[in-house]
Structure 1
Amino acid sequence: MVFKSNGKTYYAPDWAKVAQSVGRPERKNCGSCHFFGGGADAVKHGDLDSSLVKPDKNLDVHMGTKESGGQDFACTRCHTTRNHHVAGRIYEKPAALERKSLLQDDLGDKIMCESCHGSQPHMSGGMFSKLNDHTDKVACQSCHIPEFARAQSTKMWWDWSKAGQLMDGKAKIKGPDGKPVFLKKKGEFVWEKDVVPEYYWFDGTMDHVTTEDAIDPTEEVWLNRPNGDRNDPNSRIMPFKVHRAMSPYDKVNKTMVIPHLFPFDKKDKTAYWKEFDWEKAIEVGMKYAGQTYSGEFGFVETTYAFPTTHMVAPRENALKCAQCHNPEGRLKDLTGFYMPGRDKYQLVDSAGWFGAGAALLAVIIHGIMRFVSGLRRKED
């Protein structure tokens, strides 16, 4: 098929050649969407950005190039596909509900670390055996992803309330790393690098706030919240990137709102990115979505949690015991259970010291008895 337009001749694609070129996607293919989610590189996911196209082993042991000592995995190595169904669904099918090993079943849903590493991933013997005791309560990612955004910064704060105006007379301001810290279209941002995750009990499911759910604007509003409990056998302590923002909401109905951002056409003057009028944009957006809007809006602090599961560091860079097992460690905010080295319970501590003292006393008595016995043998 051939057709002409604007003085140019266009030929139909060679569909046979196109079909024959189909193959497994490489990291760059998957990353064209997943690395740039949220509008730019490293905006959305702190553990997914363009640095993973060809990473060093120190950034990710699985995807790291072989030249750097990595495994050089493509995304499809873990996210296996059958009939266009891509494994790795952390929300639709909770990972924790089926923690089976897939070592013998390479076509199964590879969702969690246990799929390849099993439930006893560390070598037996010595301190490694103790590490295996953690796998029923601690997700592998919690220790093996010590920080995210290790190659470039990720967006951690987004203030929509400052959109629609200029900052220092400018519509765009870039930060030290070249990423925008202010855009008239979107507001003010904060980017961070080498970020320590936040940790929550996670059973593989999330609660989500919709425009029909009432919120409390006097508190931080979790747009999605990890579900989990320390008494739930399917829950593990999991690391998260928690993105915070100032977002518009309905002050009367106390619900989140959906603003109309993109113009429908050239004549559309209700889109926020056309006239920068929140009132019009929210009214049209909510009407288009079939939701009620009182006509009064404000801004409330919101949070959104992203499970962190990429950028797995080499074993030598995994967390050390004391980074969690101390009063100011990473898990200081996870309460409701006793954690050695972090918590102090008088009864437990007293029992421990008593046991240690009794053991020491027994050793001393045993030594004295051996010494006396040796003297007697000499006399005989």
Structure 2
Amino acid sequence: MKINCRKQVFGAILVVIFATLMIPMAFASKQVSGDEALGIKLAKQAVRADKHWTTTDHSKTEILNKNFKSGDEITQACLSCHTDASMQFEKTIHWTWKVPSEKEGIMNGKAGHAINNFCISGNNMEDKGCIKCHAGWNATKGEVNCLVCHGAEKFNFKEAFEDLEAFAGDDDPDTLEIVKDIYGSIKDATHNITLPKRENCGKCHFNGGGGDGVKHGDLDTSMAQPNKKLDVHMAAEGANFACTRCHTTVEHNIAGRLYTRPASAERKSLIDDDMASKITCESCHSNLPHKNYSKLNDHTDKVACQSCHIPEFARVNPTKMWWDWSKAGDLKDGKPYHIEGPYKKHTYKSIKGEFRWEKNVKPEYFWYNGSFANIGIKDEIDPSAIVEISHPLGNKNDPDSRIAPFKIHRGKQPYDKIRKRMVAPLLSGPNGYWTSFDMKDAITRGNKTLGEPFSGEYDFVETTYAFPTTHMVAPREDALNCSECHIRKNSRLANITGIYLPGRDRSNFIDKIGLIAVLGAFAGVMLHGLGRFFTRNGKEE
């Protein structure tokens, strides 16, 4: 009888311990089950009616059926109906390449005082390489090229107009037939008008920094037609978004981050304001994107959605992670050369220096409130330390800050040794570094375009440049597991300090309280069991 009683008591103790451990887990499991997450419902509602129609057949418009001899003539034809379009666009950063800084007398932007650690500067639009991406027929000296964003055909207008000029005055019948075909092709291109598509935006943004995937780790040519595994929003079998689905526009101002200015002044969902920009995840998914009572919803006030839902960037094409300008200038037999490395990408070019490319890169994580601290050509630097050309702003106490993912591009670039300022060498064109291989002369010419002096002495300093990672959103089954961050070793959030992160951090005080609680609970169960055992045993005797 005593043996049976002991077995019963021991079994009861095991049941209590099992129940103590498993009931909270079962309750937690019950919390995340149920109906579809609110964030998914809202997102489906937000994109449900994404259908566009047109009230104009441009091929039937009389003014678009003339023989155009220049791009400016095409734009004038567009403006005969869209009267304010050019005026609106010329006020945007896509035209000016400048945006006022919070620092007095400083303009950010490729045509301003801002620099980067890729091609360094646009040199006030004097750099012939950068200017290829300007949305004008002849940079800012000509009319706005409406077809850069609204043309549905890939057509080389520059070549067509040059051919027309070359054939001018030639009355040969064969030549006249060629001219007729060229005019016809130009007309066809002007008739095929559309809202901006991924290909329109990607022509420049997929190739920023001088090539495919150089600049943004999450924007490259793989995003033109991504599958759902790469990006759930832009995949044809997914939401099939165009860029403007999130980068909404008002009078040709396109929503997005502008250097120090956040992409969105406030986090609003379409529930709060159905006219709000859709630039943030919360716009469509709200700040409760997961199922009711899910613990994941408790993270959204501190962790950006992208931190979990973009586990890696450059998942198809590689991205450039290191660019060392100090190695540029080597020649073989007096001529520039290049070396091809992994991924069939150059690891060295005489005109640019040494590179390193990577794929499937884990982002680096920082507190981010949507703004950046930037170093420009007018700012004094400390050359003994790594110069953060661009770095996210935010902290744990800022209610607008979230832990967000970034690509950090590292490199070495020239600076003025005497003035302790970054410099902006002129790269392309007949007098640029890529022709002369004279860095001192290139810096002199480049700084002059921005009205900045140069002491004549330069050296190289290591720099970093941060890019937010917001594209290449993976399917939810590929989102990060909790253990990627809440783990003692190799946590993704290892550099996020000043906070207590369960699983990653240790606190002797909390550990002791936890140990005491566990031992106390165990002792209580044991004492209760023993008490029942002896009480019952005594009664039976």
TM-score w.r.t. length of structure 1 = 0.89
1:271 aligns with 2:432: yes
Contact 1:88–1:109 under 8 Å retained in 2: no
Over 3 Å counting, the alpha-carbon distance change for 1:53 and 1:374 in structure 2 is farther
Task: Give the Cα separation in 2 of the matches to 1:47 and 1:167.
Answer: 35
Deviation digits for residues 99-131 of structure 1, max 9, x if unmatched? Answer: 121246454211211111111111124xxx211
Contact 2:303–2:404 under 8 Å retained in 1: yes
Aligned to 2:287: 119
How far 1:26 moved relative to its partner? 2.0
Task: Give the Cα separation in 2 of the matches to 1:347 and 1:49.
Answer: 48
Q: Which has the larger radius of gyration?
A: 2
Amino acid at match of 1:37: G
| Correspondent of 1:303 among 461, 464, 474 | 464
| Correspondent of 1:132 among 273, 279, 297 | 297
Kindly report which structure 2 residues correspond to 1:85-164, keeping only aligned pairs within 5 A, or say none: 85-89=253-257, 91=259, 93-95=261-263, 97-103=265-271, 105-125=273-293, 129-164=294-329
| Correspondent of 2:444 among 260, 283, 287 | 283
Q: Which has the larger displacement, 360-369 or 236-245?
A: 360-369
Over 3 Å counting, the alpha-carbon distance change for 1:317 and 1:375 in structure 2 is farther
State the identity %. 52
Task: Give the Cα separation in 2 of the matches to 1:166 and 1:320.
Answer: 49
Over 3 Å counting, the alpha-carbon distance change for 1:352 and 1:90 in structure 2 is farther
1:353 aligns with 2:515: yes
How far 1:324 moved relative to its partner? 0.8
Deviation digits for residues 34-89 of structure 1, max 9, x if unmatched? Answer: 111111110000001111111111111111231xxx22222222222232122233
How far 1:306 moved relative to its partner? 0.1
Contact 1:59–1:311 under 8 Å retained in 2: yes
Task: Give the Cα separation in 2 of the matches to 1:91 and 1:290.
Answer: 21
How far 1:222 moved relative to its partner? 0.5
Over 3 Å counting, the alpha-carbon distance change for 1:136 and 1:95 in structure 2 is farther
Over 3 Å counting, the alpha-carbon distance change for 1:170 and 1:89 in structure 2 is closer
Task: Give the Cα separation in 1 of the matches to 2:268 and 2:245.
Answer: 18
| Structure 2 gap segments, 5+ residues each | 1-65, 70-163
Deviation digits for residues 288-335 of structure 1, max 9, x if unmatched? Answer: 211121100001111100000011111111111111112331111111
Contact 2:268–2:276 under 8 Å retained in 1: no
Aligned to 1:74: 242
1:48 aligns with 2:223: no
Aligned partner of residue 343 in structure 2, secondary structure: coil
Amino acid at match of 1:180: H
Deviation digits for residues 214-266 of structure 1, max 9, x if unmatched? Answer: 11111110101110011111100010000011101001111100101122xxx
Q: Which has the larger displacement, 80-89 or 31-40?
A: 80-89
Contact 1:150–1:195 under 8 Å retained in 2: yes
Contact 1:96–1:203 under 8 Å retained in 2: no
1:230 aligns with 2:396: yes
| Correspondent of 2:355 among 158, 164, 189 | 189
1:332 aligns with 2:500: no
| Correspondent of 2:192 among 16, 21, 33 | 21
Task: Give the Cα separation in 2 of the matches to 1:93 and 1:115.
Answer: 18
Amino acid at match of 1:184: S
Aligned to 1:64: 235
Q: Which has the larger displacement, 358-367 or 25-34?
A: 358-367
Aligned to 1:242: 408
Q: Which has the larger displacement, 304-313 or 51-60?
A: 51-60
Contact 1:90–1:111 under 8 Å retained in 2: no
How far 1:357 moved relative to its partner? 2.3
Q: Which of the two has greater helix per residue? A: 2
How far 1:95 moved relative to its partner? 4.6
Report the RMSD for the aligned CA atoms in angstroms.
Answer: 2.6
How far 1:351 moved relative to its partner? 1.1
Q: Which has the larger displacement, 218-227 or 74-83?
A: 74-83
Aligned partner of residue 158 in structure 1, secondary structure: strand
Contact 1:163–1:188 under 8 Å retained in 2: yes
Contact 2:255–2:263 under 8 Å retained in 1: no
Aligned partner of residue 141 in structure 1, secondary structure: helix
Contact 1:243–1:303 under 8 Å retained in 2: yes
Task: Give the Cα separation in 2 of the matches to 1:167 and 1:302.
Answer: 28
Aligned to 2:426: 260
Task: Give the Cα separation in 2 of the matches to 1:218 and 1:116.
Answer: 45
Amino acid at match of 1:198: E
1:38 aligns with 2:209: yes
Aligned partner of residue 353 in structure 1, secondary structure: helix
Aligned to 2:377: 211
Aligned partner of residue 290 in structure 1, secondary structure: coil
1:202 aligns with 2:362: no
Amino acid at match of 1:215: I
Count of residue correspondences: 368
Amino acid at match of 2:320: K
Q: Which has the larger displacement, 163-172 or 149-158?
A: 163-172
Task: Give the Cα separation in 2 of the matches to 1:74 and 1:374.
Answer: 74
Task: Give the Cα separation in 1 of the matches to 2:311 and 2:511.
Answer: 30
